[in-house]
């Protein structure tokens, strides 16, 4: 078997990185050997004890690294085209070819063979330096350099995959590198999807099955920077065509975040994505979208647990309740400011036909309000999903001291619970967001209004979609079968608010259905709440086309 690699080991004894002929020769020798190594794991395993092979491989990697970095230091893009510069370019092309071939050789020879990985791991530092070189800004549009970076990243991934000792060492090293040397971030910025996939696979393999390494990813400076790059990629790759490399990259990226969620470390990352002075950041919103998707996909009859057997939602629930209060409070303040309603002024009393008289449309709008609304919808959906899962109390009792409905009902901020906060926000939204019926905004009085074309950041923009629907749905779930919550909702005017939401609103599909369901839950086995409804005398009726007519 040693005869397979003997041409390479013999060439290594004579290898001279400064000789173009030697560089081209070794590159050519490696090609057929690399192809044969990919055919059989048994062939690769028999090479583990070939010391000449590993010594020769280290020599080639070391000399390549030094030669390329020396060229980088001495490069002057303003030099004129001379015979010397032409010769140097030919030399660099030869070095690139050798780099690609030795990377492919390394990638294949270590694949699935731990002993070979351990032998070749000494070359990691050279591979990392070359990756740093070939992912520099000067090579961003260089297709040849992109190919080199891709194969280097594949070799790096194979070098440690499945070998826990090497993975732990590499991960610790990479998470503590100086900021300008974190090659993973450079790879995540690659415009080449295959390079991106290789980088994502490496990250996934490094954190898979290790809460310690996931914790490092979500809490260290380098780790959070990597997560930010990952989140940026998830946004860019979301609409990728199925079966494309971009779609594969999205799937691997999603798997990385499922590992973070599976060990309940989302709150740790979420807090580190915050920016002082901003209520919510784009990266936090993207993370919430991933959490919402994960929760929807993982719904099951019993509460999920981490590998350690602790509740999956042990830390996620406090994060969601805290974020809900922060976003709801911000939204209430912003809407009051837009409508010129001081914080000390009580809201108009809800009636059977709307929340008071006709207010003028807001003349100003907090530019963050649509983003806050979008995030609030995501948080609300996450709370809804978790709370619905807790309906199986016996399954939850095994790992949770308190089911999610009880947890969120008992959560408070500034002496206010989630129920009170969302009802007040719904009151304000009724004033701030006219429902859309047959394409036209309808004010609380039931009269259609004429408005300007919807803008991205205006009240009619997409940022406010589904907000009323999801808030009223959450209210119905929280009050289901809990009289104390039904009473709390009544005392803060929640019944009248919900009754006013039993209408068609194109901005909130199925709003009427969710409002009717919530009203049922508020009235069930609660005479006091039922009396409130009976006492309300309708002043008119809603027509079939959703317009209010006075009685």
pLDDT tens digit string along 512-544? 999 999 999 999 999 999 999 999 877 677 677
Average pLDDT on 75-82 reads 52
pLDDT at 217 over 50: yes
The verdict on residue 407 lying in a domain is yes
- pLDDT tens across 239-298, in order? 999 999 999 999 999 999 999 999 999 999 999 999 999 999 999 999 999 999 999 887
Average pLDDT on 227-238 reads 97
Give the end of a domain, one of 90, 122, 154: 122
pLDDT at 231 over 90: yes
pTM exceeding the 0.85 threshold for the entire prediction: yes
Half-sphere exposure (Cβ direction) of 262: Cα atoms closer than 13 Å: 17
Give, rounded to a whole angstrom, the gap between the first and last alpha carbons of the chain: 96
Total domains, the chain: 2
pLDDT at 79 over 60: no
- pLDDT tens across 150-187, in order? 999 999 999 999 999 999 999 999 999 998 999 999 99
Return the percentage of the chain with pLDDT > 90, whole number: 68
- CA distances 25 to 95, 98, 199, 347, 365, Å, are 11, 9, 30, 83, 68
The verdict on residue 307 lying in a domain is no
Determine the 3-state secondary structure of 354 from DSSP.
strand
Contact 431/335 with Cβ under 8 angstroms?
A: yes
Mean of pLDDT over the chain: 87
pLDDT score of 531:
96
DSSP symbols for 427-448: HHHHHHSPEEETTEEE-TTS-B
C-alpha to C-alpha distance for 411 and 379, rounded to whole angstroms: 15
- CA distances 306 to 225, 259, 263, 341, Å, are 25, 10, 5, 46
C-alpha to C-alpha distance for 189 and 193, rounded to whole angstroms: 10
pLDDT score of 352:
46
pLDDT score of 126:
97
pLDDT score of 356:
46
DSSP symbols for 26-42: HHHHHHHHHHHHTT-HH
Lowest mean pLDDT of 128-142, 204-218, 318-332, 425-439, name the range.
Answer: 425-439
The verdict on residue 330 lying in a domain is yes
Band of residue 108 on the pLDDT scale cut at 50, 70, 90: very high
Average pLDDT on 58-75 reads 80
Phi, psi of 73 (to 5 degrees): -65, -35
pLDDT score of 435:
65
Contact 417/405 with Cβ under 8 angstroms?
A: no
pLDDT score of 451:
47
pLDDT at 144 over 80: yes
- pLDDT tens across 499-516, in order? 999 888 887 889 999 999
The verdict on residue 481 lying in a domain is yes
Give the end of a domain, one of 122, 154, 176: 122
Give the end of a domain, one of 122, 143, 163: 122
pLDDT score of 241:
93
Neighbouring CB atoms inside 10 A of 528's CB total: 13
Contact 154/134 with Cβ under 8 angstroms?
A: no
The verdict on residue 269 lying in a domain is no
pLDDT score of 507:
78
Give the single-character DSSP code of 294. H
The verdict on residue 460 lying in a domain is yes
pLDDT at 485 over 90: yes
* Domain that residue 62 falls in: 1-122
pLDDT score of 355:
46
Band of residue 347 on the pLDDT scale cut at 50, 70, 90: confident
The verdict on residue 60 lying in a domain is yes
The verdict on residue 342 lying in a domain is yes
Long-range CB contacts (< 8 A, 24+ apart) of 481-484? Answer: 481/521, 481/524, 482/405, 482/409, 483/525, 483/526, 484/409
Residue 548, beta-bridge partner list: 542
Band of residue 391 on the pLDDT scale cut at 50, 70, 90: low
């Amino acid at each position: 078997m040693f005869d397979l690699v003997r041409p390479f080991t013999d060439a290594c004894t004579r290898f001279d990185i400064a000789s173009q002929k030697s560089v081209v020769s070794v590159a050519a020798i490696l090609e057929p050997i690399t192809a044969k190594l990919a055919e059989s794991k048994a062939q690769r395993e028999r090479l583990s004890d070939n010391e000449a092979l590993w010594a020769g491989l280290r020599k080639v990697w070391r000399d390549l690294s030094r030669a390329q970095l020396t060229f980088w230091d001495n490069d002057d893009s303003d030099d004129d085209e001379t015979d010397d510069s032409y010769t140097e370019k030919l030399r660099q092309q030869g070095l690139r070819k050798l780099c690609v071939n030795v990377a492919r050789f390394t990638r294949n020879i270590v694949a699935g063979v731990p002993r070979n990985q351990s032998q070749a791991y000494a070359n990691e530092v050279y591979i990392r330096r070359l990756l740093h070189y070939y992912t520099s800004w000067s090579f961003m549009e260089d297709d040849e350099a992109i190919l080199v970076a891709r194969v280097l990243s594949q070799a790096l991934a194979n070098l440690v995959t499945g070998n826990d000792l090497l993975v732990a060492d590499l991960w610790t090293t990479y998470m503590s590198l100086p900021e300008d040397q974190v090659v993973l971030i450079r790879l995540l910025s690659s415009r080449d999807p295959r390079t991106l996939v290789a980088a994502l696979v490496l990250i996934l393999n490094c954190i898979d099955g290790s809460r310690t390494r996931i914790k490092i990813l979500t809490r260290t400076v380098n780790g959070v920077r990597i997560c930010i790059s990952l989140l940026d990629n998830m946004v860019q790759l979301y609409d990728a065509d199925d079966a494309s490399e971009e779609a594969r990259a999205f799937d691997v990226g999603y798997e990385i975040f499922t590992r973070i969620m599976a060990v309940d470390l989302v709150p740790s990352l979420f807090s580190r994505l915050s920016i002082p002075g901003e209520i919510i950041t784009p990266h936090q919103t993207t993370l919430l979208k991933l959490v919402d998707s994960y929760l929807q996909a993982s719904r099951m009859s019993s509460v999920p647990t981490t590998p350690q057997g602790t509740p999956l939602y042990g830390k996620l629930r406090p994060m969601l309740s805290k974020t809900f209060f922060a976003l709801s409070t911000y939204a209430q303040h912003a809407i009051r400011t837009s409508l010129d309603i001081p914080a000390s002024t009580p809201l108009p009393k809800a009636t059977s036909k709307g929340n008071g008289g006709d207010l003028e449309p807001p003349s100003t709008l907090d530019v963050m309000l649509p983003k806050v609304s979008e995030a609030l919808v995501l948080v609300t959906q996450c709370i809804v999903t978790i709370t619905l899962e807790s309906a199986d109390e016996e399954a939850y009792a095994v790992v949770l001291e308190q089911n999610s409905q009880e947890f969120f009902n008992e959560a408070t901020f500034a002496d206010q619970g989630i129920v009170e906060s969302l009802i007040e926000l719904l009151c304000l939204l009724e004033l701030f967001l006219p429902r859309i019926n047959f394409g036209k905004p309808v004010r609380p009085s039931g009269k259609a209004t004429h408005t300007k074309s919807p803008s991205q950041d205006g009240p009619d923009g997409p940022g406010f979609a589904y907000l009323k629907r999801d808030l009223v749905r959450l209210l119905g779930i929280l009050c289901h079968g809990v009289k104390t919550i039904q009473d709390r909702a009544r005392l803060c005017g929640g019944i009248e608010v919900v009754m006013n939401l039993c209408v068609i609103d194109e901005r909130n599909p199925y709003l009427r259905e969710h409002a009717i369901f919530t009203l049922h839950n508020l009235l069930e086995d609660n005479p006091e709440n039922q009396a409130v409804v009976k006492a309300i005398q309708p002043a008119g009726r809603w027509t079939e086309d959703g317009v209010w007519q006075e009685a």
